[in-house]
Copies of this chain bind each other. A is one copy, B any other.
């Protein structure tokens, strides 16, 4: 089992040197008393908590898993106690407005916790993470009375929550949902239906569970236009805040899954449950959309978190495992063989892991700052730019950080050889736990359609131009910086190509709507490689500056070498996706459904 060590040095680099948190915090207003010292303190205590409290629960959570009996779920040993410690730190309300009882800090700070605690154990972290869902629904759509009834105990962690969207017959196509709401005489509704894949829908960690549920009010229009958002507690809440009777919300079963076994994935039955409407009838998706960027960035972080764990494990093993001699001469003469990190192909795998992990961190943390801007930004232009960039880059981050995260976790196993396949070493668990990240919260295919269809084509290319202009400006501003040309030349060329591919697909899509879908995932992956290139160029720039200033900190040397590795050995993949995006829908649409196999 790899021992988790929070990558504080790299997180620090991204937050302070790449993204200049100090200036960022100064550009916000109403975001509590946020400053770099406070950020450091949260980072420090978060790292300790992740390393010492959460990480030890990861393997046992996978081995023991969750158990279901008579509607009750038993979570793995230690999960409840760790949850209580987590919420006692006040972290559940870190990014909740002060007016709603939270600390009101910018979400970019909370994201460091998401990464560290998630690397330590994603399955565990989902219990607190999912409690954030009804909190966000209430903050964004709840009445004052609803907030007062539910928020305080969600914020103290006495209660947790669950997000209830999927039904057996509808996942991506949420418009098909059937869960029914009937208005009562008072302000409540009666809910009937069955939801599946409800993470933490039932558990033994908190006294109550607050469900945020998408349902259709009787008589509402079909499809997306008839979906409302409700909140319903497992136990009804009396006016004095005490718990009342059980609310006909019961778990029918829990799923046996590939991974994340410590987190209970429930089938939830609502058999006439009392529920409260958030916002207006039929406008449930409006509230959901407000949460979507944050939820998707949070899932992108799962790719990062798994990648970080897998990289740490593989690196440590590569330094310990002795096997064969270096082809350039013995490196470990006192041992029976050299550590496998001497072998170039092992290094290729480690460098790939490092490039994707650190690139993901840069992207996720940047996007979190953009979310901060949309909420607290003082400068209107900057807020507008943040909104545009977020619209474009959120699906890119979700798709790309999870797809590459899955690759990195598989490389981690591969470095371990046969031992990677054995449970006790922990590497195969990371693969299994991370694998779902390309699926839930919108599959890679759904992200790709959101990107190319809704965001790029839907804005007439405007959202893309906001970013490509930014990249263009960046490259142009470094045209005379000799040590940056190795990065900015290909970045500028890819940036131009991004626009050309968009025009090409857009043109073809006027004739045939299937062109968009045929190009979508390749387009999203191309976008991801270019976005990472932009971030790696900036990271190289910071490193070059430090080295030029005389720093002999090997951290900067490594950063620069990784940027070069990314540009020379990873970024060429963008061309494959350019070809794929331009290949045309005929390549996939030619066969009838019954002609794929015989």
Contacts and interface: CB of A to CB of B under 8 A. Distances in A.
A327 B173 contact: no
Interface string A567-598: 01100110110011001010111111111111
A435 B448 contact: no
A112 interface: no
Contact of A417 (B7, B439, B594): B439
Contacts of A572: 575-576, 579-580
B576 A324 contact: no
Contact of A598 (B346, B558, B576): B558
B554 A339 contact: no
B585 A344 contact: yes
Contacts of A513: 327-328
A248 interface: no
A280 interface: no
A569 B587 contact: yes
Interface in A127-144: none
A347 interface: yes
Contact of A327 (B339, B419, B438, B516): B516
A411 B568 CA distance: 27
Contacts of A436: 418, 421
Contacts of A344: 514-518, 520, 585, 588-589
A593 B319 contact: yes
B9 A347 contact: no
B444 A592 contact: no
Nearest to A347: B588
A10 interface: yes
Interface in A267-317: 311-312, 315
A443 interface: yes
B432 A418 contact: no
Contacts of A432: 258, 432
A554 B597 contact: no
Interface residues of A, number: 104
Interface string A1-43: 0000001011000000000000000000000000000000000
Given A337-B176, A348-B518, A583-B568, A439 B424 contact: no
Interface in A530-586: 554-555, 557-558, 561, 564-565, 568-569, 572-573, 575-576, 579-580, 583, 585
Nearest to A352: B588
Each complex incorporates copies of this chain amounting to 2
Contacts of A444: 414
A573 B424 CA distance: 35
A538 B311 CA distance: 42
A171 interface: yes
Contacts of A576: 572-573, 575-576
A447 B140 CA distance: 55
B596 A558 contact: yes
A170 interface: yes
A439 B423 contact: no
A115 interface: no
A472 to B, nearest CB: 25
Given A257-B422, A555-B598, A431 B435 contact: yes
A258 B431 contact: yes
A333 interface: no
A313 to B, nearest CB: 11
Contact of A588 (B348, B420, B521): B348
A256 interface: yes
A312 B598 CA distance: 10
A512 interface: yes
A443 B414 contact: yes
Contacts of A413: 435, 439
A48 interface: no
Given A258-B432, A564-B587, A587-B569, A558 B323 contact: no
Given A432-B432, A587-B564, A596 B423 contact: no
What 8 A-B pairs are tightest by C-beta distance, nearest first? A344-B517, A258-B428, A327-B513, A344-B518, A347-B588, A256-B423, A9-B598, A572-B579
15 contacts: A169-B336, A171-B418, A343-B517, A344-B588, A344-B589, A345-B517, A345-B520, A351-B587, A418-B440, A420-B439, A432-B432, A568-B579, A568-B583, A572-B580, A576-B576
Given A255-B422, A327-B514, A413-B435, 5 more contacts: A171-B419, A315-B596, A417-B443, A554-B592, A558-B596
